[in-house]
Every structure is written in structure tokens, then in C-alpha cells.
Amino acid sequence: MNVRTCRKCGRMFNYIAGLPICPVCREALEAKFQDVKNYLRDNPGAGMNEISEACEVDKAQINQWIREDRLELSADSAVMINCESCGASIRSGRFCDKCRMNMTNSLNKMAKDINAHAATSKDKSKTATHGFITRS
Ligand SMILES: [Zn+2]
Ligand SMILES: [Zn+2]
């Protein structure tokens, strides 16, 4: 048995998986999530402040649901979260398209650099060995 303290209410509970919150808080949070989801469906143009006040949910919590891609925002939604890399306004996930693209590119570049580096260091070791031999 894995007993933990609930991160929200401090109660001890039998931990199974996921967030360290007790079943009571988990259910309450899930109900809030449904509230927000319904509110967004009825008010697709609602902003973050409005949703937060209407549903009595932390903006940080709404942010998290959006990042987890659990909340789907319509194209004309006023709700925006920020790209974790450049701070640009986005509607889902963690990064904007530009940063996602940059990241893919830099990953490719890194792979290329590693190959290039491997090639150069081979050349260098040849030179070093040669230098050593000449000196002795
Ligand atoms: Zn709790
Ligand atoms: Zn970005």
C-alpha cells in the first residue's frame, strides 16, 4: 500500500497513480474540468479571466488543462496560453509552431553536428599521432 498526503487538502490517501491528490479532490477537479469544458462549449469566445471566475477554477489549472490538450479551444477563442520557449500566444500544447519547427531543425542540426564532429576528431587524432611520432 502506498499512502500519500493529498497535495490539495492534505488528507492521507491510498495512492495509485497520476497526480498525488486524494480521490475526493480528484473527483472535484474532474467536475471542475467538466464545468470549464461545458462553459467553453456554451461560450466559445470566453476569455481566461471570465472562465476562471465563472467556474471558480484557478487560471493556472485551466492553463494546465490546455497544455495537456484536454481542453479544446475554438479558433476564435479568447483564451491564450504562452509558448514555453518564446512566450508567443498559443492555444494548445507547450510551444508555438515556430519554436516546434526550430526545435525539430536544431535536433536535425545537432545530429549533423555530432557526425561532423566525429569526422573532425578522427582527423585531429591522426594529426596528433603524427605530431607525436615526429617529435620522438
Ligand atoms: Zn484531497
Ligand atoms: Zn515559441
Which ligand is nearest to the Cα of residue 89, counting in written order?
2
Say yes or no to pLDDT of 131 above 70: no
DSSP 72: P
Are residues 111 and 75 part of one domain?
no
Structural domain total, the chain: 2
| Average pLDDT over every residue of 51-75 | 91
Are residues 111 and 81 part of one domain?
no
Which pLDDT score is estimated for 1?
76
**Residue 3, domain member (yes or no):** no
Containing domain of residue 125, as a range?
96-136
Tell me how far the alpha carbon of residue 59 lies from the centroid of ligand 1, in angstroms. 19
Which ligand is nearest to the Cα of residue 10, counting in written order?
1
**Residue 16, domain member (yes or no):** no
Q: Identify the band that residue 117 occupies on the pLDDT scale cut at 50, 70 and 90.
A: confident
**Residue 39, domain member (yes or no):** yes
**Residue 1, domain member (yes or no):** no
Beta-carbon contacts of residue 7 (< 8 Å; ≥ 6 apart): 19, 20, 21
Q: Which of 47, 52, 77 is nearest to 62 (CA)?
A: 52
CA distance 66 to 92: 5
Tell me how far the alpha carbon of residue 44 lies from the centroid of ligand 1, in angstroms. 31
Residues 91, 73: contact at Cβ < 8 Å? yes
Are residues 50 and 86 part of one domain?
yes
**Residue 100, domain member (yes or no):** yes
